[in-house]
């Protein structure tokens, strides 16, 4: 299972507000705006445990 979060809030797999989780990818709806600046975390979870990657996105 793959789980994405933005600034600590889980991104719902089935919403299409600004962000959408598609398989293991996170899509950001265009146009990209300054409010998309955030810390995103991708967390992979399986029967052996979990691992996370933190990505800081800065829109200027």
pLDDT at 22: 84
Give the pairing type, strands 49-57 and 38-46. Answer: antiparallel
Check if the beta carbon of residue 31 is closer than 8 Å to that of residue 39.
Answer: no
Q: Phi/psi at 7 (nearest 5 deg)?
A: 50, 40
Quick: pLDDT tens for 3-59: 999 999 999 877 778 888 888 888 888 999 999 999 999 999 999 999 999 999 999
Residue 47 pLDDT: 97
pTM for the whole thing?
A: 0.84
- The DSSP bridge partners found for residue 22 are 25
pLDDT value at residue 23: 81
Question: Residue ranges of the domains in the chain?
Answer: 2-57
**pLDDT score for 3:** 93
């Amino acid at each position: 299972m793959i789980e994405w979060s933005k600034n600590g809030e889980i991104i719902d797999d089935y919403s299409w507000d600004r962000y959408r989780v598609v398989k293991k990818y996170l899509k950001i709806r265009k146009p990209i705006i300054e409010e998309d600046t955030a810390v995103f975390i991708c967390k992979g979870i399986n029967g052996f445990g979990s691992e996370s990657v933190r990505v800081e996105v800065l829109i200027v």
